[in-house]
Structures are given as C-alpha cells and as structure tokens.
Copies of this chain bind each other. A is one copy, B any other.
Amino acid sequence: MIRVVLIGSGNVAVHLAKALEKTESIRLVQYFSRTDRNKHYFSENIPHTKDMVSLVEADVYLIAIRDEAIEEVASQISDRKGLVLHTSGSISLKSLRSAKRYGVLYPVQTFSKDRELDWKKIPLALEASSPDAMALLRELASSLSDRVYEIDSVRRKKLHLSAVFANNFSNHMFALAEELCQENQLDFELLKPLISETGKKVISIPPEEAQTGPARRHDYTVLEEQANELNRDKKVIYEMLSQSISSRYPKNET
C-alpha cells in the first residue's frame, strides 16, 4: 500500500485524485489546497488541508500545481522522508532537489474537470533522483497506467513541446473554426463529425499522409480566395500554415 498526499486542486490534481482513489494498491491519505474552490470535485473521504505544515506523513507527496510554484512548494516539504514528485512536462527534475528523494510523473494527456479519462491508457513519463526513488515511482505509476516510460528532463521537455502542438495548437484551430462559424451564422455542430474523424484518423494513418485540402494540393486559387475572406489575425495564421503545409508536399502529386 503506497500512501499518497496530493498537493493541488487544479485539473490534473482532480483527475489524479479520482484515479488514485480507485487504485487498490494506493491510499490517498490527504490533499492540500489553499482554497475550497474545487472541493466539490474531491471525494469527501479524502481529508483536506489548507496548511502545508499540517501535511501528514506519506510515502509520496505528489505536487500537481502550476509550474511556477513547484520549486517553492517542494522546498516547503524538503524535510519529509516521502518521495516528492511533480507532474509537469516542462519543469526539470532538479527543481525538486531540495527534497531528499524526488522524481517526476508526467501524464501525457489534457485534463478537463468534466471529462472522464481511462488512466490505464495515459502514457506516464517518469524520472527520479535515484534507483531507489525510481523503484517506488515505477510502482506507483504502474498501478495507475499500463504505459510507463522513463524519459529524462531534456527529452520530457521536447515531449511536452510536441504535446503543445498536438493538443493546444490543434484545439486552437478548432476554436478559430468555431469563431468563423459564429461570424457566419453557421452551426458549429456542422464541423463536429469532421473534428472527430480528424482525431481518430491520426491513430491509424500518419498525419503527413492524412493531410488533405487546398494547401496540400497547391491550389493557389482557393488559397488566395480563402485568405481574402479572413480578418487580420486569422488571415496571417491561414497564410503561414498553408505555406508550411504546401512546403512539405511536392507539386502535382494529386
């Protein structure tokens, strides 16, 4: 039984709490959050504290808070014997070096409070300060997910950066598409089957191959016409991305 204290109450913390609670070999003994704001997302069985000095003893202190605060919060629990972990893709392992034993458990996923997720399928990128820390981290991670990888800070940053393109930027394209629909009194529902298929297709067909549309076809008539229908912000994005797509495909490939 691994006893875990969770620090944080944002999207990642809420999802972690649910997953940890459901896992037999883990006991979530407490969570820390300065406010009651997201209290309703946590089970009432999990003791809540607003005070860092009241953290109970545990095998693992799992810090799931915004990046900028990680180092400071870790330093506040540096005297604890338990393994101190953060969950960030972009913060290096050494930001936790004030702790005795530390590591990283980065879930490669996007978390919204109202979405259910299957943790067994979420890739977890692990890094630890020592073989002994890694052993415990690996035990914890393997009980959450079937997809556990050891990835160091340098490559984890690259992975996080790839995830920004794969999720943040693609989602922003959906947001711009929705905005365009609204501007033209078109129901965004019209695009949902397309978006859904776009996400599914990439699982079986490499995105380079799955690409369609005027930029891939070097169809300059349509490209120019479409660019001219857009306002400044979207127009610049349209032209830059079309150019980036076109440059990757030969002309006349059909």
Please tell me if the beta carbons of A241 and B248 are within 8 angstroms of each other in the complex: no
Tell me if A202 counts as interface (CB < 8 A to partner B): yes
Tell me if A40 counts as interface (CB < 8 A to partner B): no
Docked Cα-Cα span, A171 to B207, in Å, equals 6
Contact partner, A169, options B110, B115, B241, B247, Cβ 8 Å: B241
Contacts of A184 in B (CB 8 A): 155, 158-159, 162
Within 8 A of B (CB), among A162-184: 162-178, 180-181, 183-184
Please tell me if the beta carbons of B212 and A11 are within 8 angstroms of each other in the complex: yes
Interface residues on A, range: 35 or more
Please tell me if the beta carbons of A240 and B248 are within 8 angstroms of each other in the complex: no
Please tell me if the beta carbons of A108 and B190 are within 8 angstroms of each other in the complex: yes
Residues 3-16 of chain A: 1 if any B CB is under 8 Å from the residue's CB, otherwise 0? Answer: 00000001100000
Please tell me if the beta carbons of A195 and B168 are within 8 angstroms of each other in the complex: no
A-B CB contact pairs (8 Å), 13 listed: A67-B214, A90-B225, A158-B183, A165-B173, A166-B191, A167-B198, A167-B212, A170-B171, A171-B202, A173-B173, A192-B202, A198-B199, A233-B247
Beyond the given pairs A125-B190, A170-B195, A237-B240, 5 more chain A to chain B contacts, judged by CB atoms under 8 angstroms and listed by A's residue number, are A67-B219, A109-B197, A112-B205, A162-B191, A167-B195
